[in-house]
Amino acid sequence: MTETESNETKRNLWRSVFDYGHGSESDRRNQRWFIALFAAWALSFVGANRALRLDTLQSPTSWLVAIAPVVLGLVAVFLYLRMLRGMDELLRRVQLEGLALGFGVGVVFVAGYGLLELAGAPGWGNKPLAVMMFAWTAGQMLAIRRYG
């Protein structure tokens, strides 16, 4: 493979992974739904976190507010699985390597930081989620670099 072909392959992988305007109509539709639901989950998570911390909600309402992001998150996960199943082999591999890195880094971070908290470090709350998301994205970028 020439350098020009390799660069074009990398560009196509970047578009396929991070740009929902690329791929088949089914791929684009699945990505749009996943991105929309993922954004809705993120907003509902932040909103629920804020509302529950204010402690102004009555008990039944607080349960509904807490459950809403969980439901949206589960729907987003199932849409992601549908999107994965529809991808070609190379894109699926890029996604799965990204997920593997994100999950692995998340497990090590949560376990390691738990020990650091016992040693006196401040609590992190929901911050491990951000670490996992960053590692997921970094894993996709590394896989693109490797296979592109």
- Per-residue pLDDT of 89-117, as tens digits, reads 888 888 899 999 999 998 998 888 888 88
In eight-state DSSP terms, residue 96 is H
* Cβ contact 51:64 at 8 Å: no
The tokens describing 138, both together, are 């970094």
- Per-residue pLDDT of 20-54, as tens digits, reads 445 677 777 888 888 888 899 999 999 998 888 88
- 73 closest CA partner among 129, 29, 140: 129
* Cβ contact 143:12 at 8 Å: no
- Per-residue pLDDT of 45-85, as tens digits, reads 999 988 888 877 778 888 899 999 999 999 989 988 988 88
Task: Tell me which residue has tokens 């992190």.
Answer: 124
pLDDT at 75: 92
For the chain, give the percent of residues with pLDDT over 90: 21
pLDDT at 59: 81
Task: Tell me which residue has tokens 């529809």.
Answer: 86
3-state DSSP assignment of residue 142: helix
Residue 16 or 32, more confident:
32
pLDDT at 20: 46
